[in-house]
């Protein structure tokens, strides 16, 4: 952990750098796998599944009997918890629906906008030691509300060729179209190009390690959209003397246990609170089953003291955290002043874990400072806006001359003529 006191603004650029691997270090590997998958399809995917996941699969597709077995193996309590979370996520995202916007800009000129679902979407769900079945809820629920026709889920198998039962249960509960046992770069490549087994999709969603993040970015060069450049998880907490140090430490550790490259930061106007949280971090860390991972992540932790709340807020906006917890007496200052954050958690009794699972908001959020220009996943992420217009004879006569003048000024005669020919036709009919 690194403790800092009133760092100068000219040092902030260095402080907000995330502990990530240089893209150049992994880009060559991603390119190589993409090229091979584009040419060899399933053969290449199976090769890399054996190489990276240590398993040979007779079939990449999850069958009905595997899903039924998973349903039977999940406890009723966990099923109820997943169903509760699904209900809250549906409620929050359904409220984001908007009606068609229709206006008459001039007499006889009617314009409107409608939202249409992205027909084919791909979801990447990390597996391994932390199978993120909650991410299936966060992505499939809004996809279904939006009306996406095809929802393909890719997730890596374990060494027995199986998928975590909670992932399978949640996928079938939410109505996933196809579940494929493939992870990592090869999964993103499969959904980018399409193979004999993995369908090609129009947009890819979901978090992953830095290899997956680079693969998603490469997918955009082949005409596939992505949700955002979502990399390793991060959390920034602002806490003053009104905060509970045990709560703050538990929140920081909840993100640190995601991975060794996660980053957690505490910003405070209280040196006493920083000391208390530091003590709690040490005490709670040793109790965690994933303490080895969390310990490495905590090595990147910064505990930063500022004299003034406004300076602290300025730093937080410069950092642009994925998750931002406000545990402050003057919480309104931070609620009103935050400009750059993926998701905000307010008050001592609002842990970041609530947003990860069951409060209703989405947990697929921009990392690495991208909160300055990207939104987290929401209903609109699965929709695209289309504009329509219908112009009557009166309407083209109203705006026609303006169109002709503007087209002529740009030197585009055919544009002008498309209007002129219509206006002359109307004159001849009079």
Render 337-375 in DSSP notation, one character per residue.
H--S-SEEEESTT--HHHHHHTSSS------TTGGGT-P
pLDDT at residue 85 above 80?
Answer: yes
Just give the CATH number of 24-229: 3.40.50.1980
Q: How far is residue 364's CA from residue 376's CA, in Å, rounded to a whole number?
A: 6
Q: Return the domain boundaries, the chain.
A: 2-19+232-360, 24-229, 392-429
Q: Residue 377, SS3?
A: coil
Question: pLDDT by residue (tens digit) across 200-259?
Answer: 999 999 988 889 989 999 999 999 999 987 778 899 999 999 999 999 999 999 999 988
Least confident of 267-281, 284-298, 308-322, 342-356: 284-298
Is residue 93 among the annotated active site residues?
A: no
- The confidence band for 22, taking pLDDT boundaries of 50, 70 and 90, is low
Bind-site residues for NAD(+): 124, 186, 209
Give mean pLDDT, residues 155-168.
Answer: 95
User: Which residue is catalytic, options 234, 280, 309, 323?
Assistant: 323
Give the phi and the psi of residue 110 in degrees, each rounded to 5: -110, 125
**Portion of the chain with pLDDT greater than 70, in percent:** 99
Bind-site residues for Zn(2+): 255, 258, 356, 415
Is residue 322 among the annotated active site residues?
A: yes
What is the pLDDT of the chain when averaged over all its residues?
A: 95
Bind-site residues for substrate: 233, 255, 258, 323, 356, 410, 415
Q: Residue 241, SS3?
A: coil
DSSP state of 249: H
User: Which residue is catalytic, options 234, 309, 322, 352?
Assistant: 322
Q: Among the CATH numbers 3.40.50.1980, 3.30.479.30, 1.10.3720.10, 3.40.50.170, which is that of 2-19+232-360?
A: 3.40.50.1980
Give mean pLDDT, residues 49-73.
Answer: 95
**Portion of the chain with pLDDT greater than 90, in percent:** 90
Bind-site residues: 124, 186, 209, 233, 255, 258, 323, 356, 410, 415
Give mean pLDDT, residues 62-80.
Answer: 96
Topology agreement, domain 2-19+232-360 and domain 24-229: yes
Strand ranges inside 164-233, DSSP E: 178-181, 203-205, 225-226
pLDDT at 20: 67
Looking at domain 392-429, its CATH architecture is Up-down Bundle (1.20)
Strand ranges inside 166-257, DSSP E: 178-181, 203-205, 225-226, 234-239
């Amino acid at each position: 952990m690194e403790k800092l006191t009133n760092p100068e603004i000219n040092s902030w650029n260095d402080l907000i750098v995330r502990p990530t691997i240089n893209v150049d270090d992994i880009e060559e590997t991603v390119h190589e796998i993409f090229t091979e998958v584009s040419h060899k399809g399933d053969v290449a995917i199976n090769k890399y599944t054996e190489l990276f996941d240590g398993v040979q699969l007779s079939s990449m597709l999850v069958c009905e009997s595997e899903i039924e077995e998973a349903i039977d193996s999940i406890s009723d309590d966990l099923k109820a918890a997943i169903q509760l979370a699904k209900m809250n996520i549906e409620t929050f995202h359904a409220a984001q629906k908007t009606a068609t916007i229709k206006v008459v800009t001039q007499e006889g000129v009617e314009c409107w906008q409608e939202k249409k679902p992205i027909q084919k979407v791909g979801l990447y769900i990390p597996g391994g030691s932390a199978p993120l079945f909650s991410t299936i809820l966060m992505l499939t629920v809004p996809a279904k509300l939006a009306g996406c026709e095809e929802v393909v889920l890719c997730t890596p198998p374990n060494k027995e060729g199986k998928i975590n039962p909670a992932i399978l249960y949640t996928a079938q509960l939410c109505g996933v179209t196809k579940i494929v046992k493939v992870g990592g770069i090869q999964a993103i490549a499969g959904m980018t190009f399409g193979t004999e087994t993995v369908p090609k999709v129009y947009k890819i969603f979901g978090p992953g390690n830095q290899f997956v993040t680079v693969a998603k970015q490469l997918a955009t060069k082949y005409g596939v959209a992505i949700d955002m450049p979502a990399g390793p998880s991060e959390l920034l907490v602002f806490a003053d003397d009104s905060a509970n140090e045990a709560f703050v430490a538990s929140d920081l550790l909840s993100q640190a246990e995601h991975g060794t490259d996660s980053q957690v930061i505490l910003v405070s106007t209280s040196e006493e609170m920083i000391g208390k949280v530091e003590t709690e971090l040490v005490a709670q860390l040793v109790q965690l089953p994933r303490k080895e991972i969390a310990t490495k992540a905590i090595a990147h932790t910064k505990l930063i003291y500022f004299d003034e709340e406004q300076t602290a807020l300025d730093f937080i906006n410069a950092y642009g955290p994925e998750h931002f917890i406000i545990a402050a007496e003057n919480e309104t200052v931070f609620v009103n002043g935050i400009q750059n954050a993926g998701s905000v958690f307010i008050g001592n009794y609002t842990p970041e874990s609530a947003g990860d699972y069951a409060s209703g908001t989405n947990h697929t959020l921009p990392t690495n400072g991208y909160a300055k220009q990207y939104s987290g996943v929401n209903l609109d992420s699965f929709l695209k806006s289309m504009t329509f217009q219908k112009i009557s004879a009166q309407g083209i006569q109203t705006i026609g001359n303006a169109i002709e003048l503007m087209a002529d000024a740009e030197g585009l005669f055919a544009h002008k003529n498309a209007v002129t020919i219509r206006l002359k036709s109307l004159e001849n009919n009079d």
